Amino acid sequence: MGDYLIVGEKAGSSVAGARSTVLRDQCRDRGFTLRSLGPRLWLAARGPRPLKTLTVGAWILVGDVLNRSHRHLDPASDIEPHSYEKKLFGRFWGRFVGVRLRGEAIDAALRDPSGSLECVTWHDDDLILVGSDIPAWIAHTLPTPTRINFDRVGQALIDPLRVWSELLLDGPRAVLPGSIMALPAKEPGALLWRPDVFARRSDRWDIAPAAAADLLMTSIDEAVTGLSSLSACIGCEVSGGLDSSVVASSLAIAAKDKVRLWLNAWGEDPGADERRYVEDLARCLDITPVCVPRPRGSLSEADLLSLSQGVRPGLNALDGSYDAAWASQWRSAGVEAVMTGKGGDSVLIQAATADVFTDRFRSQGWRSILSPDLPGLARLNQRSVWSLIAEARRRPGTLPSHDSAGPDWVRPATLKEGASAAHPWLAPTSASGSARSHQIAGIASGVSFSAPSRQTAVVDVLHPLLAQPVVETALSLSPWQLTLGARDRGLVRRAFASRLPPSIIHRRSKGEMTAFYGRLLAQSLPVLRPWLLDGRLAREGLLDVATLDQTLKSEVLLWRGGFGEIMTTAALEGWVRVWEDRLDQAAQTRKA
C-alpha cells in the first residue's frame, strides 16, 4: 500500500517549524508526495497507490476507507469511553490509520481493526511523528535512549506472533489494530475493537447451516467487492487451494473485467504442483490463468539483511526469490493491486481438531455430546468419542495464547516467567476456548501478510479474508459452525459449493512445499550457518548454538524441513543487526 509519515508540530516550540521544514525536504527528496493536513500538520506518502485522506469529525483518516454494508453489533453507547471512535469502526472498514486534531495539534492516533496499514509513533520536544516505518534517514528523530529490547526478541523467537504486538524496540510505540493511543504517546493504547467481543455473540450459534453459510458468503463478497473498487487493474493469486479459489470466485463476479492476470506458481514436487485444481477452477470461472514455475535459488547475506529493514522483522519477506518473481509478473501485466486468499486457514478454521469439540463443550456443557457431528470429528482425528469428551472435561478453562514451546534451539530461559500474552487480543480477559484462541491468534498474525516485501513494493496486496467484514462474521459464528462440526473450513465449502468445482470443494489435501524449502535451506547453509551460529542472537545467549549447529545440516533440513522457524530466526538476526547499526548512526547524526 505504501509508506506514509505524518508530522505534527508541538505548540509553543520555537524550533518545531524549522525542524518540520527539514523533514519535509527530506521526504520530497525521497519521492514522497506531501500534503498539508493543517497549519501545523502534514502528510508525506509514497508507494504503488497514493494514500487518500478523509475527514470524519475531528479525525483525519489516511488510507482506504469503505462504508460498511452490514453491521454486526449495536452502536456503542454515548457514555462509553471513546464511543465516537467505536462507532467509527462500526461505520467504516478498510485499511486506514487516523490522527485526531485538537485545535492545531494532534492528540491521538488510531488504527483500523485489520491492521493492514502499520502505525508507529514517537515524539520529542518539538515534533510528534506517526508513520508506517522508521527508516534510517529519519531514525535520528527517535527519542533517546531508543534501544533493542532483547527480552522481547527472545520471546519472538519462541512465538513469532509477538513480532506483531509490541515493538521489539524501547522508545517508539505501536498503535495496535483496533486501538486508539493518546499523543504524544507515553502509555500503551486502548483497545476499542476486540475479537472476543464478536466471538461472544451467541445469538448466531444456533442458526441453521444454510443461514450461516449465507452470512459468510455475503461478508466475503462485501470484502472482495469493496477492495476491488480501489484499483482499475487487478491481479489474483490462484494457488489451486480452497481459500484463493473462494476469493477468485467472488472477484470473478465483482470485477472480472478489471483482472489483468490470474497467476499460479507451481513447484517441481508432486505435492507442490496444484495446476490440475487451477485448471478445474479456470473452466468453472471461465478465466485463463498463467502458471509459472516457482523460482529456485539460494540465500545470500545481502538477502538476509534485506529481509528486516523495517520497524518490525521481515516475516512477510522470507521467500525473496518468489516475491521478486511475482513482482515482475504483476509489473509486466500492468497490475496495480493483487487479491490473495491468505488468512483463510485461520479465519475460516482449517484445523477441525478436538479443540472444536472442547470449545463446544465449554459453551453447551453435556448437551454437546448429543451433537451428530461428534462421531465424524472423532474419526477425522483418529480418536474415540469418549477420548474427546474426556479431553474437553480436562480442559474447561481459558487458553488465552498460542501453545508454543518454540524451536528446540532457542534457550528455554528465553521466555521469561510471567511474560504477558503474545498479543493483547489473547489476554486472559478474552475468555476464549482453545479453537477460538487459535483462530484469534491467526487473525492477529494476519497483519504479517501486509508487511513489506518485494511484492508490496510494486503492487498493493489485498487480503479479503482478513478484512473486517469477514473477520467479524467468522468470529460471530462458533468454531463448530465454521467446521460444520467435523470438516476443515466446512462452512465456506458449503457456502461456495455452487461457485467452485467439486474437486476443490471436496479436496482434503493442501499444497506441500516442505521439500522445496528444505532444498533452499540446504543450498543456503554456507551463508546461514555463520549468520546464525556466529551472530548477535547467539552472542546475546538467546540460541542454543550446539543444537542449532546440528539442525543446520543438509541431511537434517531435507528430512525435517523447518523453513519457517529457521528463516524467522534468520530474519530476527538480520533485524537486530540492522537496528544496532541504525541506532548507532542515529546517535552520530544527533552529535554532529
Give the pLDDT band of residue 281 (cuts 50, 70, 90). Answer: very high
Which helix (H) or strand (E) segment is 449 a member of? Answer: none
Kindly provide the b/e burial profile for residues 125-143, where b requires at least 16 CB atoms within 10 angstroms of the residue's own CB.
Answer: ebbbbbbbebeebbbbbbe
Closest CA to 387 of 396, 373, 377, 397: 377
Whether 431 has a pLDDT exceeding 70, the answer reads no
Weakest-pLDDT range from 282-296, 329-343, 410-424: 410-424
Give the pLDDT band of residue 362 (cuts 50, 70, 90). Answer: confident
pLDDT digits (tens, 9 = 90+) for 188-217: 899 999 998 888 776 787 899 999 999 999
286 class by beta-carbon count within 10 Å (0-12 exposed, 13-18 middle, 19+ buried): exposed
Q: What is the mean pLDDT of residues 312-331?
A: 92
- Do you know the residue count of the chain? 592
Whether 324 has a pLDDT exceeding 70, the answer reads yes
pLDDT digits (tens, 9 = 90+) for 16-32: 889 999 999 999 999 99
Whether 397 has a pLDDT exceeding 60, the answer reads no
Q: What percent of the chain has pLDDT over 70?
A: 93
pLDDT digits (tens, 9 = 90+) for 484-536: 876 889 999 999 999 999 999 999 877 777 778 888 888 899 999 999 999 99
Q: What is the dihedral sign for C-alpha 266, 448, 461, 523? A: negative
Whether 418 has a pLDDT exceeding 70, the answer reads no
pLDDT of residue 79: 65
pLDDT of residue 388: 74
Weakest-pLDDT range from 160-164, 308-312, 416-420, 571-575: 416-420
The domains located in the chain, with CATH, are 3-134+172-193 (3.60.20), 198-347+443-505 (3.40.50.620), 354-403+419-442 (no CATH)
pLDDT digits (tens, 9 = 90+) for 72-101: 555 556 667 899 999 999 999 999 999 999
Task: Yes or no: say if 351 and 488 are a contact pair by the CB < 8 Å rule.
Answer: yes
How far apart CA 227 and CA 560 sit, in angstroms, is: 39
pLDDT digits (tens, 9 = 90+) for 39-49: 999 999 998 88
DSSP-assigned letters across all residues of 33-52: EEEEEETTEEEEEESSSPPP
C-alpha pair distances (Å), 205 with each of 60, 244, 465, 470, 480: 37, 27, 21, 16, 9
How far apart CA 470 and CA 94 sit, in angstroms, is: 12
Say how many Å lie between the first and final Cα of the chain, rounded: 35
How far apart CA 358 and CA 387 sit, in angstroms, is: 11
Q: What is the mean pLDDT of residues 539-553?
A: 94
Whether 430 has a pLDDT exceeding 60, the answer reads no
Q: What is the dihedral sign for C-alpha 557, 558, 560, 566? A: positive
Weakest-pLDDT range from 54-58, 258-262, 384-388, 428-432: 428-432
pLDDT of residue 448: 93
Task: Enter the pTM of the model.
Answer: 0.92
Residue 59 or residue 523, greater confidence: 59
How far apart CA 366 and CA 396 sit, in angstroms, is: 12
How far apart CA 325 and CA 47 sit, in angstroms, is: 19
How far apart CA 579 and CA 581 sit, in angstroms, is: 5
Assigned C-alpha cell, 207? 442458526
Give the pLDDT band of residue 109 (cuts 50, 70, 90). Answer: very high
Written as one letter, the residue type at 301 is: E
pLDDT of residue 514: 76
How far apart CA 351 and CA 165 sit, in angstroms, is: 24
Average pLDDT over all residues of the chain: 89
